Amino acid sequence: MVREWDPRTAPAAEIESFLDAINSVLAADLPEDPLWENGMLREYLCEVMPGERRISWVAQEQPSVDGQPGAILGHVHVLLLGDIGVLEVLVRPAVRRSGLGRKLISTAARRTYQEGFRSIGVEVIGDTPAVGFYETLGFDREYVETRSVLRLSTVDWTALGDMAQGIAAGYRLEFCPGGPPEELIDAYARAKAEVRDVDGGDLELRPSSYDPQRLRDSLGCLHRRGMKPYIVLAIEEKTGEVAGLTEVVVPAQHPTRADQYDTIVGQEHRGYGIDRAMKARMLFELRTAEPKLSEVQTWNAQANEPMRAVNTELGFQADREWYEYGADVAELVHRLDATG
C-alpha cells in the first residue's frame, strides 16, 4: 500500500518504523556508516526552506490483526525547489526487486509533473544496486563526486596544529558555532557567490546559499532540522572581508559522523594556506565542541584536485563515488506508464 505521508503528524510508531527502514538500507548499502538515531528525526523529515515544498509517500504493510500499523517497507519524497524536483527513495533490502521502488518513483514523478516541474534529480551512491536501477529507468548521470571520510582516531593532532597555524600574515581565523555572526552575513554570502560556478555541472541537488537572506533562512532551517552548523572563517585583517570559509554540520540523526559542507577561498586569497588552516582549525574545535564525534565525511568534485589534496593532507580517505542523476519529468512519466 503506497500512500501520501505527512511526517509532521505521523504517529511516533511510524517515525520509528521509518528509522528502522533507513537503518536496514544503511546496513545493506553502506555497512561502515553509522546507523541513524531518532534525534529530531521528525523535524528532519518536515522542515524545509522558504519557497520549497516536500511531498512524501510511504509503502506500508497491511495493519496487523490487532490494528497495529504495518511496517514501512519503502519511502519516497520529492523536494520541490527552483525548477527541479529532488527525489529521495529508500526500499528495505528484503523487498527489493518487487517493483516497489519503481512504484514509489512513478508516484513521485507523476506528482512532480502535475506540479509543473520539468526536471527531476536524485543522488545515487556508487557501488549500490541503485545505480543500475536508475539507469534502467532512463535517468542520466550528470555529475560525479567522491566521498571521503576522516576518522578522528587516526588524526596526528600535532601535525594538524601546525596546519592550523600555517596561514599567511594578514589573515586571522574565527570559529563560529551555530553560524556566522550577523555582522558578517553579507560578507559571508559574497564569498560564497564569488565561487558558485567553480566546479560546474552540479545539478544543485544540495543547493548552497549565495545571498544574505537565503543564508539566514538556510541556517534557521538547519537548526530546526536538528543539524548544528559550525563555521570557521578566514578574515583579511586590513579589510575585514571574508577571505575564506569552511562549514561542518553535525546532525542529531547521526551525531558521531559530521558532514563537511562548503569550503571556499576567494580567488584573490588563494595560495596563502587558508583552506588547509581553516579545515585543521575546524577539526580542533569539533574535538571539544562535539565529544561524541568520531568521523567527518566530505564530498568533492573529481576535478577539484586542490581541495582533494588538502583533504588527503588532513587524513581523509576516499570512500566511494556519489552520483547525481537527472531526467525530464514528462519523459520519465511516459516511460514508466509505457512499461507498466
Q: Given a cut of 80, is residue 65 above it in pLDDT?
A: no
What is the arithmetic mean of pLDDT over 107-111? 98
Nearest to 49 by CA among 204, 202, 176, 181: 204
What is the arithmetic mean of pLDDT over 293-305? 93
Q: How far apart are CA 308 and CA 275, in angstroms?
A: 11
Report the share of the chain in percent with pLDDT over 70.
Answer: 95
Long-range CB contacts (< 8 A, 24+ apart) of 224-227?
224/43, 224/47, 225/40, 225/43, 225/44, 225/47, 225/251, 226/39, 226/40, 226/41, 226/43, 226/44, 226/251, 226/252, 226/253, 227/44, 227/251, 227/252, 227/259
Q: Which CATH number fits domain 156-314: 3.40.630.30, 3.40.50.720, 3.10.129.10, 3.40.50.970?
A: 3.40.630.30
Q: How far apart are CA 131 and CA 190, in angstroms?
A: 36
Higher pLDDT, 101 or 199: 101
Q: Given a cut of 90, is residue 62 above it in pLDDT?
A: no
Phi-psi region of 266 (alpha: psi -120 to 50; beta: other; left: phi over 0): beta
> For all residues of the chain together, what is the average pLDDT?
93
Q: Given a cut of 60, is residue 167 above it in pLDDT?
A: yes
Q: Cell numbers 509505457 correspond to what residue?
A: 338
- pTM for the complete prediction? 0.92
Asked if 118 contacts 80 with a C-beta cutoff of 8 angstroms, the reply is no
pLDDT at res. 340: 72
pLDDT at res. 199: 42
Which residues of the chain form CATH 3.40.630.30? 2-144+324-338, 156-314
pLDDT at res. 196: 60
pLDDT at res. 304: 87
Q: Given a cut of 50, is residue 202 above it in pLDDT?
A: no
DSSP state of 178: T
Q: Given a cut of 70, is residue 266 above it in pLDDT?
A: yes
pLDDT at res. 194: 78
Q: Given a cut of 60, is residue 105 above it in pLDDT?
A: yes
| CATH code for the part of the protein at 2-144+324-338 | 3.40.630.30
pLDDT at res. 63: 79
